[in-house]
Structure 1
Amino acid sequence: MSVNLKRFSPRPGLVNKQGRLPDPSELVCIEVPKIFDQCLIKKCLVYGEGPDTNTTDCELRSNPLTDPKRYIGSRDFNLTLLSVDKIPLMGNPNFKKIIISYKISFCADYIDANGVNKSELYEINRTDVIGKFYCPDSIAQISASFVPGNQPQDLDSNIIKLEMVADALAGELLKDEAGKEVLDITLGYYIIVKCELIVQLLIPTYDYCPVPKAPCEEEPEEDPCEIFEKAPIPKFYPDQNLDPLFPDCDDGNRNEEM
């Protein structure tokens, strides 16, 4: 049983299993990128000389550092798609062999012998091959003009998109073959490769998104002493890691003693 639209306030939110939505107010055409295929690239890379492999990369070693003392961590991971080659497979040109080249960049922070925080930029260039990927070509050709007076532009409706989650799993300060101190990073990352095509979809809608009625919240500034007064008293000593001196007595032992 649907809910009366007059009693329903359309807004973004979760719908539970018992929830019932009202009938939509209209059907509309929207133009969106639709995902036709996607796959996952998962890699853990360490430094290794020579050509890159599935587990090593020669760019995971820093330039020589001056008196590094301790590795802190890595930040500001960024992914850049450099090139895409699509090779149609024989017998079904909608499936393609995809060759993608991309660059992962990030900064690694460390402390030198003088206690100064420093950072080193890493840029990792990788190439991966997806043997079979459903990536059909658009039947329609798209041309559009976005700014009045500009010439129309031909758009490629077929999109290869990369999404990444990455982290530096470890950082090791050591000396290279020349005796200079360097920082080797162990990099782990996940990349989702998507083939998207700009299409028109017919979808049910309720209306335009509602305009927010509440004003933007402001974080009030509190006096540091007031925050300190409200805070609980901290522990003065850490928890102890001790084993019990005597094993716990079960009911059977208690009955024997009685």
Structure 2
Amino acid sequence: MSINFKKFSPRPGIVNKQGRLPDPSELVCVEIPKIFDQCLIKRCLVYCEGPDTNTTDCELRSDPLIDPKRYIGSRDFNVKLISVDKIPIKGKPGFKKIVISYIISFYADYIDCNGVNKSELYEINRTDVIGKFYCPDSVAQISASYVPVIDAQDLDSNIIKLEMVAQALNGEIVEDENCDSVLDITLGYYIVVKCELIVQLLIPAYDYCPVPKEPCKEEPEEDPCEKFVRAPIPKFYPDQNLEPLFPDCDDNADENN
């Protein structure tokens, strides 16, 4: 079913297959970062002394802990790009060997023997090498100025960007060589490395984004007892893991055939 153009109100949303959009009202020139190349770094790291490898890291062990009892979990993962080295590849214009250094930080929570929740900060320094990455240099040089003009600055139109999803796969309280209690973390993460270049693109547009007509919704405070009364009665016992005593009728029919 096609869209009634007279009733169509341009707004952010999903374009379904049943309808079709009206013609745009204008073509506009916008300046945005465009992705020229991207690749994935996937690592599962455990603690190990010595130089870091693709599977081990010496910073996944905490400082000595006082009477730890149990590891709870990890939170607040963050990645920070420290440095980028771009080495041109001879005979392949625009392609470079990329060396990136970054820090992954997070907190690991645990309970001590007194029942007190405590946390330990981890900062994992990593370096990865991307052998072949299409990251061309910008032909034009960009300079931006703000009021006052003395704040004018040159901008790097070539951007290396990291996007990460990480989780602690395991946490284990062990004793180190000094008989101190420490927390070893197994870390798994995905990092997408992107090469972006600030460019001008000509794109179709409908109009400015509409101003919301409805005010921001407020979540009303609910009486906890009223919420409890409306809730269904919970299960008193867990589900049983039992096997049938007799075969199904369909199984008997198959055997007879």
User: How far 1:91 moved relative to its partner?
Assistant: 1.2
User: Which TM-score applies when normalising by structure 2?
Assistant: 0.94
Which letter does structure 2 place at the counterpart of 1:225?
A: C
Which letter does structure 2 place at the counterpart of 1:96?
A: K
Report the CA distance shift for 1:67/1:208 in structure 2 as closer, same or farther (over 3 A): same
**Contact 1:74 1:108 (C-alpha < 8 Å) held by counterparts:** yes
The whole-number CA distance in structure 1 between the counterparts of 2:205 and 2:174 is 60
Question: Where does 1:1-258 land on structure 2 (aligned, <5 Å)?
Answer: 5-250=5-250, 252=252
User: How far 1:238 moved relative to its partner?
Assistant: 1.5
> Which stretch shifts more, 233-242 or 90-99?
233-242
Which letter does structure 2 place at the counterpart of 1:85?
A: D
Residue aligned with 2:76, SS: strand
> Which stretch shifts more, 85-94 or 130-139?
85-94
Which letter does structure 2 place at the counterpart of 1:52?
A: D
> Which stretch shifts more, 113-122 or 11-20?
11-20
User: How far 1:135 moved relative to its partner?
Assistant: 0.4
User: How far 1:3 moved relative to its partner?
Assistant: 5.2
| Count of residue correspondences | 254
Provide, for residues 48-101 of structure 1, a one-character-per-residue CA deviation record: whole Å limited to 9, x for no partner: 100000100000001111111110000000000000000111112410000000
Identity of aligned residues (%): 81
Which letter does structure 2 place at the counterpart of 1:105?
A: S
The whole-number CA distance in structure 2 between the counterparts of 1:181 and 1:79 is 27
Which letter does structure 2 place at the counterpart of 1:163?
A: E
Provide, for residues 162-219 of structure 1, a one-character-per-residue CA deviation record: whole Å limited to 9, x for no partner: 0000000000111111111111000000000000000000000000001101111000
User: How far 1:4 moved relative to its partner?
Assistant: 6.2
Report the CA distance shift for 1:252/1:180 in structure 2 as closer, same or farther (over 3 A): closer
**Contact 1:2 1:23 (C-alpha < 8 Å) held by counterparts:** no
The whole-number CA distance in structure 2 between the counterparts of 1:5 and 1:251 is 58
The whole-number CA distance in structure 1 between the counterparts of 2:27 and 2:191 is 35
The whole-number CA distance in structure 2 between the counterparts of 1:251 and 1:198 is 65
Which letter does structure 1 place at the counterpart of 2:140?
A: A
Which letter does structure 2 place at the counterpart of 1:218?
A: E
**Contact 2:143 2:154 (C-alpha < 8 Å) held by counterparts:** yes
**Contact 1:103 1:125 (C-alpha < 8 Å) held by counterparts:** yes
Contiguous gaps of at least 5 residues in structure 1: none
Contiguous gaps of at least 5 residues in structure 2: none
Which letter does structure 2 place at the counterpart of 1:245?
A: L
User: How far 1:151 moved relative to its partner?
Assistant: 3.0
**Contact 1:3 1:23 (C-alpha < 8 Å) held by counterparts:** no
Residue aligned with 2:6, SS: helix
User: How far 1:5 moved relative to its partner?
Assistant: 4.4
Residue aligned with 1:150, SS: helix
User: Which TM-score applies when normalising by structure 1?
Assistant: 0.94
**Contact 2:84 2:99 (C-alpha < 8 Å) held by counterparts:** yes
The whole-number CA distance in structure 2 between the counterparts of 1:186 and 1:252 is 50
User: How far 1:2 moved relative to its partner?
Assistant: 7.7
User: How far 1:146 moved relative to its partner?
Assistant: 2.8
User: How far 1:241 moved relative to its partner?
Assistant: 2.0
**Contact 2:2 2:18 (C-alpha < 8 Å) held by counterparts:** no
The whole-number CA distance in structure 2 between the counterparts of 1:130 and 1:251 is 56
User: How far 1:44 moved relative to its partner?
Assistant: 0.3
